[in-house]
Structure 1
């Protein structure tokens, strides 16, 4: 496989005054052929003015984003879009920190132009249910399988949240993880952005006590065989596998892929090949450049570098990737000031 053609642009003008900081984009193809993206933005991550913003293409051109979901004094996080049969769903987190956030969702029946009133995804459940950052998949049996995770003050854990009825009810299925104590973990280097981010000012002294995996990304390789790759605190992408449509999972295990404890996303193409978007950097809270694509032709057992999207120093992170025919669509955080978009054409 090789890259035949690339096209890059941004969702916002390079000089804009809409907000100070943006992050964590999500991307879907709509029934009318246009693209829809969402992200969170405000003063900075975790502040009370942070809202969910949405942007769409018109005739293939990105239109100026609009503020979609907000509540004064309540931080909004990590939108996840899903589209099927003309309906669009958006899932997102609300709360002062990642340790206390919960999940809300809203539905649109007109391609994301108007939305239902937001409501809690699993009423009465204080846990962050549903997709935590990456897209859900529709399994071959029709189940929605959402990649979820929980970040406590001590450990991080991943799970699959399964809905057999298009989001109305959910079944939480945990991924086993053998956690390490803080004194045995390989802490690596601190990502320099932490010290400058007010959200983490009180956490820098204890941030390396956290151990585990979060923010899975999913694919189905054969009937009922679901797989996930996960961000980890241990310098490598971790993986787990299920043979029963995500109901049970093997213990999370390390792959050879480097991970800087930052977001990843994978997509399975029609030919069965996988494309992973990630920072190929090892270390806990390692630097967030470059951001790159790798390809696997053997269901994720081995990977080959495909394309470096950004090589200069900066923060290029939290990719979201879609595949259709011979094209890839990709968005990611660009220095917390913009959302970059790439369209990539692949060839044999």
Structure 2
């Protein structure tokens, strides 16, 4: 695959109406415009953190505008999804601490200009249902599958499943993980630390779904399902390093997978550099496509590493879009075109 075009833009500049931002998500409209959402405020976890959006029209970004803000509630991890009928669905988490957060959903029928009042995705949910960071996918049979996880004493992943376009949801079984407990025996690989969260999903053929998961064990882990995400294979380690930071993946029309991640195999390691890699064999082998961000440490002039993290990736035709956090101060958007033949 050959990269033929690449454009890097800041979604907003220094005159942003907040101090800190993180956890972006992106969708593309049929005309090529983009909508990006993120959480922003004084600092992650503070009560003034809300969900904001920016829209790109004819390659020009709008000023950030607030779309979800309930007084006294911390807001986290927005996830955008555009339905075929044009309606936009925005999921996000509210509440603190994280193990007790829950999921809100709002809708827009005017391309993100205005939004409905927030409602709970699953009434009574504590712990977080629906997409936790990365986008949901639509399976070939029309099922919605959302990559989900919970963060308690241990971290576990699952998929949330909807057969009625997001009206109701049912949980899959948890991805089997060896957390080091005596009852977890067999051929499951031990995962050091708390475990696995924030999966990203793709479907390779009808009913065959796969997830890559963030881990506390220094590597990205994987699980596979042959029943449309209802049950999952025991989690197993890939060779891709992971610094216990989020990543995302998209599937191109020809089946090529595009993964944005920090290739750092160290627990809580630096969130840099940030790479975009591709796989043409369903995620078995990965090849670097482009370095999105990198900082180099000189022996004579040491520098503090920046944070380039939490990417979101979408693909349509021969176009790839990547958004991510830039030093907790801004959101970056890359627009790329590739030659696929």
Alignment map for 1:234-245 (pairs within 5 Å): 234-245=217-228
CA drift of 1:236 comes to 0.4
Greater mean deviation of Cα atoms: 273-282 or 105-114: 105-114
1:58, CA displacement in angstroms? 1.5
1:33 aligns with 2:32: yes
CA contact (8 A) 1:31 1:111 kept: no
Cα displacement (A) at 1:17: 4.4
Q: Which residue number corresponds to residue 229 of structure 1?
A: 212
Distance 1:340 1:73 in 2: 28
Structure 2 CA distance, aligned partners of 1:146 and 1:162? Answer: 6
1:136 counterpart residue number: 136
In structure 2, the residue matched to 1:200 is none
Partners of 1:129 and 1:136 in 2: CA distance: 12
Q: What is the TM-score of this pair, normalised by structure 1?
A: 0.90
Secondary structure in structure 2 of the residue aligned to 1:343: strand
Counterpart of 1:330 in structure 2 is 322
1:4 deviates by 1.7
- Deviation for aligned residue 1:186: 8.7
Say if 2:276 is the partner of 1:293.
yes
Q: Counterpart in 2 of 1:195?
A: none
Q: In the aligned structure 1, how far is the partner of 2:271 from the partner of 2:239? A: 18
Rounded to whole Å, the distance in 2 between the matches of 1:72 and 1:17 is 21
Q: Does the 8 Å CA contact 2:243/2:268 hold for their aligned counterparts?
A: yes
How far apart are 1:33 and its partner, in Å?
3.5
- In the TM superposition, 1:150-169 aligns within 5 A as 150-152=150-152, 154-169=153-168
Shift of 1:59: 1.7
RMSD of Structure 2 on Structure 1 (CA):
1.3
Contact 1:21-1:43 within 8 A present in 2 as well: yes
In 1, Cα distance between the equivalents of 2:130 and 2:236? 23
Q: List 4+ stretches of structure 1 deviating above 4 A.
A: none
Matches for 1:154-233 after TM superposition, within 5 Å: 154-173=153-172, 174-180=174-180, 210-233=193-216
Tell me: CA distance 1:7–1:33, structure 2 relative to 1, closer, same or farther (3 Å).
closer
Aligned length: 321
2:154 and 2:195 in contact (8 A); partners too: yes
CA shift digits 1:280-320 (9 cap, x unpaired): 11011111000001111100011111111111121000000
What's the offset of the Cα at 1:338? 0.1
* In 2, Cα distance between equivalents of 1:158 and 1:43: 30
Looking at structure 1, the residues matched to 51 and 257 of structure 2 have their Cα atoms a distance apart, in angstroms, of 29
Post-superposition CA distance 1:237-264 (Å, at most 9, x none):
0000001110111011100001010001
Q: Is the 8 A contact 1:186 1:284 kept in 2?
A: no
Q: CA deviation at 1:121?
A: 0.3
2:73 matched to which residue of 1? 74
What is the Cα deviation at residue 30 of structure 1?
2.3
Three-state SS of the structure 1 residue aligned to 2:227 is: coil
CA distance in 2, matches of 1:17, 1:301: 41
Q: Which residue of 1 aligns with 2:243?
A: 260
The runs of 5 or more residues in structure 1 that have no matched partner are: 188-209
Counterpart for residue 335 of structure 2: 343
Distance 2:127 2:260 in 1: 28
* Conserved 8 A contact 2:19-2:41: yes
| Deviation sequence 1:13-63 (CA, Å, 0-9, x none) | 1x2241111000000012453211100000100000000001111222111
Correspondence list, 1:47-86, <5 A: 47-84=46-83, 85-86=85-86
Once residues 247 and 123 of structure 1 are traced to their aligned partners in structure 2, the CA distance between those partners, rounded to angstroms, is 21
Q: Secondary structure at the match of 1:211?
A: coil
**Structure 2 runs not aligned, ≥5 long:** 182-189, 296-304
Q: Is the aligned partner of 1:314 residue 2:313?
A: no
How far apart, CA to CA, are the structure 2 residues paired with 1:114 and 1:279? 34
Which is further off, 74-83 or 1-10?
1-10
Q: Would you say the 8 A contact 1:29–1:36 is kept in 2? A: yes
| Deviations, residues 117-141 of structure 1 (Å, cap 9, x unaligned) | 1000001222300000000000001
